[in-house]
């Protein structure tokens, strides 16, 4: 009798139910295990969603920074082109000035070379 009571207590402790076969307790244990697996899967899915949201947020931030960088690059390109055009125009102006000064110096030499027409 004592061993029968001990067996019943063991069944209650380890199987979680008080039936003679013990199958119901094993089923409950399996259900708890599968529910914990389901919970683990839900946690993993939630974690994956969180990572995906963080990635999307990072991509949006990176995209906006890249857009700003592109605008700055375009502005630098435009400014460099304007500076190149200004330098070209300045070079053309200096070339024209050189021609005018050369002509003026030539006329001054011509005028100073004639002695009787020195009115300086």
- pLDDT at residue number 107: 87
pTM over 0.75: no
b vs e for 59-98, b when ≥16 Cβ sit within 10 Å of the residue's Cβ? eeeeeeeeeeeeeeeeeeeeeeeeeeeeeeeeeeeeeeee
Task: List strand residue ranges (DSSP E) for the chain, in order.
Answer: none
- pLDDT at residue number 20: 45
- Per the structure, the complete domain to which residue 66 belongs is given by 2-117
Asked if 112 and 118 touch (Cβ cutoff 8 Å), the reply is yes
Tokens coding 83: 């500076």
- pLDDT at residue number 64: 95
pLDDT in tens, the chain (120 residues): 555 655 666 665 555 544 444 444 444 445 555 666 668 888 888 899 999 999 999 999 999 999 999 999 999 999 999 999 999 999 998 888 999 999 999 988 887 777 766 565
Asked if 25 and 12 touch (Cβ cutoff 8 Å), the reply is no
- pLDDT at residue number 21: 47
Give the chain's domain count. 1
Phi, psi of 27 (to 5 degrees): -65, -45
- pLDDT at residue number 76: 98
What's 16's DSSP letter? S
| 18: enclosing H helix or E strand | none
């Amino acid at each position: 009798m004592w061993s029968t009571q001990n067996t019943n207590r063991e069944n209650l402790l380890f199987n979680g139910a008080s039936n003679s076969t013990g199958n119901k307790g094993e089923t409950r244990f399996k259900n708890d295990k599968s529910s914990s697996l389901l919970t683990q899967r839900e946690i993993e899915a939630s974690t994956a969603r969180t990572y995906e949201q963080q990635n999307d947020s990072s991509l949006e931030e990176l995209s906006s920074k890249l857009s700003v960088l592109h605008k700055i690059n375009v502005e630098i390109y435009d400014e460099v082109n304007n500076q190149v055009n200004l330098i070209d125009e300045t070079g053309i102006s200096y070339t024209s000035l050189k021609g005018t000064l050369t002509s003026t110096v030539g006329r001054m030499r011509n005028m100073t070379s004639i002695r009787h027409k020195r009115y300086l």
